[in-house]
Amino acid sequence: MSERQRGPGPAMTRRRAVGLTLGAGFAMSPLAIRAHMPPADDTGSPPGGFDFAHPEALVSVDWLRMRLNDPDLVLVGFMPAEELESGRIPGSVQVDWPELEVIDTSDASIESWQQDVQQLLGGLGIAVGSTVVAYDNGTLLSARLWWILHYFGHENVHILDGGLPAWQAMDGEEESGAFEAPSGGSAYAGTPNADLLAQRDEVLAMFEAPDVVVLDARTPEEFAEGHIPGAANLNFRLNAAPEPPKFFKRADELRAMYDEIGVSGDKLVIPYCASGVRSAVTAFVLYLLGYDNVALYTGSWLEWGEHPDTPKETGALPIPLPRVPKPY
C-alpha cells in the first residue's frame, strides 16, 4: 500500500531529474536502419506499417538528406553546445532543454516564459513558415522542442527518428568544431494553445477525475520516491528501442503499452516527469498515436513536490509495468 506524504521525495540533481544518463549499446548498420525505416514519402510520413495518426511528425534520415538545402529548413541539434561541436548534421543550430524550461506554472511565470521562448526561437532563425527538424544524440529529448513549437501552433515541425546516431549510421555528412550561433532575429510570432499546457492549479483541481489520466514518465524508482496520487507510470524510454539508434516503436506496440496502463483517447492525459522534458517525449508519442486530448504538466514534480498544498504519494505501483519485447 502506498503512503501519502506532505513533503517532496529525496533531493536530486537537475541532470538526474531529467534523466540524461545514456546506456551503452551497439550501433545498427545502415542495412538494419533501412529495414527499420524505409524512405519516407514526400510528406515526411513514415512508410506503411507504422500506422501513426500523425506520421508527418516523425521523419527519416533519407527524408532529411533530400531537404538539407531547403532554404526554409531550420535544423536544430537539441543537446549541449559541446556535444554539437563533437559532431552534427551540417547547418545545425543548437539549443538545449535548460533554455526552454519552465517549472513555475503560475500565470505570470507562463506569460514571461512565453515571451522569452519566442525570442529564443526567433534567434534560432525559426519563423512561422519554417520547416523545423529537431534531433538529439539518442536522448529522445528533442521532443521538448517539438512540444514547444506544437504549443505555439507551428505546423511544420518534425523529429528525426533515431536522431544523430541514425544519421551517423547511414553515413550522413557531418560537421564538427566550433559553430556560429545565429545573430538574432525577430521574435517567433506563434500563438500559444493553452489546452496543451497544464498548470499546477489545473492539475490539482482535476487529477482525481475519472476521465483524467495523470501519467508519470519517470523511472519506477523515481515514481516510488514520490508522485502525484493515482498517477500511472511509464518510463519515457520505453517509447523507443533500447539500443542506438533509438527509433520510436511501431504504433501497435505503443498503443498496446499505453492501453495496458489505462491511457486511452477518450480521456484527458496529463504527462509529467521531473521538469517537463522527459514527459514531452510521452506527449509527442501520444500525438503520433492520435491522442489529441493531452496537456503536458511542464512544472512536473519539481513544482508539485515542492508545493506545500499539493498531495503526494510514495510507493511503487501495485502491479508491475508491462514488459514489452524488444522490437528491433
List the domains of the chain with CATH numbers. Answer: 3-16+194-314 (3.40.250.10), 24-169 (3.40.250.10)
**Which residues, in sequence order, are bridge partners of residue 76?**
93, 134
In this prediction, residues 18-23 reach a mean pLDDT of 42
pLDDT in tens, 52-104: 999 999 999 999 999 999 999 999 999 999 999 999 999 999 999 999 999 99
In single-letter form, the type of residue at position 125 comes to G
d(CA 182, CA 188): 14
pLDDT in tens, 280-323: 999 999 999 999 999 999 999 999 999 999 999 999 876 554 44
| H helical segments located in the chain | 14-18, 30-36, 61-65, 81-86, 107-123, 143-151, 163-169, 200-206, 220-225, 251-260, 278-289, 300-304
Sign of CA dihedral 302, 308, 309, 315: positive
| Coil, helix or strand at residue 95 | strand
Q: Which listed residue (141, 273, 294, 295) is catalytic? A: 273
- Give phi and psi for 105, each to the nearest 5: -105, 25
Instruction: Supply 321's cell numbers.
Output: 509495468
Catalytic residue list contains 317 = no
pLDDT value at residue 309: 95
Q: Is the pLDDT of residue 29 over 50?
A: no
pLDDT in tens, 271-280: 999 999 999 9
d(CA 328, CA 169): 15
